[in-house]
C-alpha cells in the first residue's frame, strides 16, 4: 500500500515538475534531428561544380586508375570536382532507381546495356546527341553504339567496356576423368560426352548450364541465329525448328542428369563458385572473371586453360556483354556530365582501363591495338585475344518489350521442359503464344 502511494506521489510529482514538460519535446527534437541528419541540403551553389559518378562494382580494385582519370579531367576542367560512388552488382539498378525517385540521382551513370531502354523509357537518362559532337559517337565500334546504346533511334548512352564470354577449362578434372586433354572443347555438340565421362569417373561435373537466369532461354534461341521478335519487335517468331533443337539440346543435359541438379534454381554466381572449388570442369564466362579465379583459387587458376567460347558447329554467334555510361536527366550540369562520360569512354581512358583487367574497349581505334590481337602466354592474354576476335562476330541482344513479363514466361517454360512436363517443341509453341498475347495487350 505504502509503496503504491509513494509511486503515485512520485508520478504526480514528476508530472507537476516544470522540467518534466521539456523532456518529451526534447526527446522528440533529438529524434527529428537524428533523422534529418542525413538530409544535407545540396542545393548550395559552391565554388565547385560537383559531378557525381555512379559505377558498378569497381572499387577498390580500380581506385588508382579512376583517381588518376578524375585528376586529369579536373585538370582540364577547372572548378569541377568528381564524386565517385560505387555499388555492388546485387540490386544495382534498383538502388539507382531509388536515387532517381529521391531526386538525388548521380550525374553520370554506369549502366549495363540491357538497362538502357528501361532507363530511357522511364525518362531517367538524357539523349546525348544534343550534348556531344558527332565525332565522339563516330569513334565507337558502329555495331556496339548502334545496337547497344539506343532507344527509339536516339543515343542515350556511350559504350564503355565490352566482353564476349570465353571458355575456361580445369585441365585437372579432365585428366582425373581419363579424358585426353588437348585443349578446351570447341563445339556444344561435344559437351554431353565430356559431361558423361567426367560424371562417371569423378565426383565432379563437366558443365553448368543456368536455366534460372532471366535471359537463359533467350540466349539459347539467339545463339542459333533465330530472332526472338520480328523486325517491328511486336510479334514473337522464335518457335522455329532450329530454336526447338537448341532448347532440346540444353534441356536434355538437365533431363539426363549431366549437369548439376541445382542448375534449375541457381544463377550465374554458382558455376563460378563451383569452378573455383575445383568441382566443375568447364566454365563459360566473361574473361574478366579470370581475375577472380586467380585471386580466390590459385590452384585452379594454375590448371586453367582458356579457349574461345564454345559454339555450335554451324552457328558461331557470340553474345556481346557491354557496359555503357549515361547522363542523368536530373543532372544540373548535363554538358559537363556528358563530357565526363565521353572522357571516360575515349580511346585513351579505355586503353588504360583494359590494360588493368581482361576487358575490351568499345572504341574502334583502341580495339585495333596489337595488345588485343597478339596474345601473350598468360591465360588473361589469351582470353583477351579470343574475346576481341569474337566481338567481330558478336551480337547485341536487346531485351524484348515488356521484358519483365516475357522473361517470366521464358523462365516458367524452361523449368517445365527441364522437368519433363513439356517437350521442347510444346514449350516453345506455348511460350510464343503467351509472349504474343502479352505483346498484343
Helix (H) or strand (E) holding 418: helix 403-418
Of residues 26 and 71, the one with the C-beta less far from other proteins: 26
Rounded CA gap, 261 and 275, in Å?
16
Q: Which residues, at least 6 apart from 203, have a Cβ–Cβ distance to it below 8 Å?
A: 279
Is residue 266 a contact point for other proteins (CB under 8 A)?
A: yes
What is the nearest approach in angstroms of other proteins to the Cβ of residue 411? 7
Shorter beta-carbon distance to other proteins: residue 355 or 421: 421
The number of C-alpha atoms within 13 Å of 384 and in the hemisphere containing its C-beta is 26
Min dist. Cβ of residue 432 to other proteins (A): 17
C-alpha cell of residue 385: 585475344
- Strand blocks (E) in 205-343: 282-285, 304-307, 318-319, 321-327
Among 6, 7, 59, 121, binds other proteins (CB under 8 A): 121
Q: Which is nearer to other proteins, 122 or 392 (CB)?
A: 122
Which listed range, 87-95, 282-290, 344-352, 387-395, lies at the site for other proteins (CB under 8 A)? 87-95
Q: Which cell is 437 given?
A: 498475347
Piece of 24-32, 64-72, 285-293, 367-375 that binds other proteins (CB under 8 A): 24-32
CB of 15 to other proteins, least distance (A): 5
The 10 Å Cβ neighbour count of residue 296 is 13
List the one residue from 2, 94, 152, 182 that touches other proteins (CB under 8 A). 94
Pick between residue 71 and residue 102 the one whose CB is nearest to other proteins: 102
347-376 footprint of other proteins as x/- string (CB under 8 A): ------------------------------
Please tell me the distance from the alpha carbon of residue 137 to that of residue 342, in angstroms, as a whole number: 9
Stretch that binds other proteins, among 155-163, 312-320, 377-385, 397-405 (CB under 8 A): 397-405
Q: State CA 199 to chain mean position distance.
A: 31
CA separation for the pair 324, 330 (Å, rounded): 18
Cβ closer to other proteins: 324 or 358?
324
- For the segment 275-294, give every residue that binds other proteins (CB under 8 A): 279
Q: How far is the CB of 231 from other proteins (least distance, A)?
A: 21
Q: Is 89 in the site for other proteins (CB under 8 A)?
A: no
Closest approach of other proteins to the CB of residue 408, in Å: 6
Query: Which grid cell is 430?
Result: 506455348
User: Restricting to residues 140-199, which ones interact with other proteins according to CB under 8 A?
Assistant: none
DSSP state of 115: G
Query: Considering only residues 154, 267, 302, 368, which one is a binding residue for other proteins as defined by CB under 8 A?
Result: 267
* Residue in the block written with cell 582425373: 176
In degrees and rounded to multiples of 5, residue 96 shows phi and psi of -65, -45
Angle of CA points 432, 436, 439, to nearest 5°: 140
- Alpha carbons 404 and 427: distance in angstroms, whole number: 19
Pick one of 260, 287, 308, 375: the residue that binds other proteins (CB under 8 A).
260
Instruction: Report the chain's terminal Cα–Cα distance, integer Å.
Output: 75
Residues 6+ apart with CB under 8 A from 334: 107, 126, 131, 327
Binding-site ranges for other proteins (CB under 8 A)? 11-12, 15-16, 20-21, 23-25, 27-28, 31, 91-94, 97, 100-101, 114-115, 118, 121-123, 205, 212, 214, 260-262, 264-267, 279, 399-400, 403-408, 411-412, 415, 419
Amino acid at each position: 500500500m505504502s509503496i503504491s502511494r509513494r509511486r503515485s506521489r512520485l508520478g504526480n510529482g514528476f508530472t507537476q515538475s516544470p522540467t518534466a514538460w521539456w523532456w518529451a519535446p526534447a526527446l522528440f527534437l533529438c529524434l527529428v534531428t537524428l533523422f534529418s541528419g542525413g538530409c544535407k541540403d545540396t542545393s548550395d551553389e559552391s565554388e565547385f561544380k560537383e559531378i557525381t559518378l555512379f559505377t558498378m562494382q569497381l572499387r577498390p580494385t580500380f581506385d588508382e586508375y579512376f583517381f588518376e582519370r578524375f585528376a586529369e579531367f579536373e585538370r582540364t576542367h577547372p572548378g569541377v570536382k568528381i564524386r565517385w560512388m560505387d555499388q555492388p552488382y546485387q540490386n544495382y539498378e534498383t538502388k539507382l532507381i531509388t536515387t532517381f525517385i529521391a531526386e538525388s540521382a548521380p550525374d553520370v551513370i554506369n549502366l549495363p546495356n540491357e538497362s538502357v531502354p528501361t532507363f530511357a523509357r522511364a525518362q531517367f537518362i538524357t539523349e546525348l546527341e544534343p550534348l556531344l559532337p558527332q565525332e565522339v559517337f563516330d569513334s565507337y565500334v558502329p555495331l556496339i553504339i548502334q545496337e547497344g546504346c539506343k532507344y527509339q533511334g536516339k543515343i542515350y548512352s556511350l559504350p564503355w567496356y565490352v566482353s564476349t564470354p570465353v571458355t575456361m577449362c580445369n585441365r585437372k578434372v579432365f585428366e582425373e576423368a581419363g579424358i585426353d586433354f588437348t585443349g578446351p572443347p570447341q563445339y556444344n555438340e561435344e559437351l554431353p560426352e565430356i559431361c558423361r565421362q567426367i560424371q562417371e569417373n569423378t565426383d565432379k561435373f563437366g558443365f553448368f548450364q543456368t536455366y534460372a537466369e532471366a535471359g537463359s532461354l533467350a540466349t539459347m534461341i539467339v545463339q542459333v541465329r533465330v530472332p526472338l521478335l520480328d523486325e517491328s519487335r511486336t510479334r514473337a517468331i522464335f518457335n522455329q525448328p532450329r530454336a526447338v533443337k537448341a532448347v532440346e539440346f540444353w534441356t536434355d543435359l538437365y533431363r539426363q542428369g549431366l549437369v548439376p541438379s541445382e542448375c534449375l534454381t541457381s544463377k550465374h554466381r554458382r558455376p563460378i563458385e563451383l569452378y573455383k572449388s575445383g568441382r566443375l570442369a568447364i566454365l563459360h564466362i566473361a574473361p574478366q572473371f579470370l581475375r577472380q579465379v586467380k585471386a580466390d583459387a590459385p590452384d585452379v587458376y594454375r590448371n586453367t586453360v582458356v579457349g574461345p567460347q564454345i559454339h555450335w558447329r554451324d552457328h558461331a554467334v557470340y553474345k556481346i556483354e557491354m557496359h555503357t555510361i549515361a547522363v542523368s536527366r536530373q543532372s544540373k550540369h548535363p554538358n559537363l556530365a556528358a563530357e565526363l562520360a565521353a572522357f571516360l569512354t575515349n580511346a585513351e581512358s579505355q586503353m588504360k582501363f583494359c590494360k588493368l583487367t581482361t576487358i575490351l574497349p568499345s572504341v574502334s581505334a583502341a580495339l585495333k591495338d596489337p595488345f588485343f590481337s597478339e596474345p601473350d602466354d598468360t591465360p588473361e592474354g589469351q582470353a583477351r585475344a579470343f574475346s576481341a576476335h569474337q566481338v567481330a562476330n558478336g551480337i547485341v541482344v536487346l531485351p524484348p518489350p515488356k521484358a519483365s513479363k516475357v522473361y517470366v514466361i521464358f523462365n516458367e517454360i524452361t523449368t517445365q521442359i527441364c522437368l519433363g512436363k513439356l517437350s521442347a517443341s510444346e514449350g516453345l509453341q506455348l511460350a510464343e503464344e503467351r509472349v504474343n498475347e502479352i505483346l498484343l495487350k
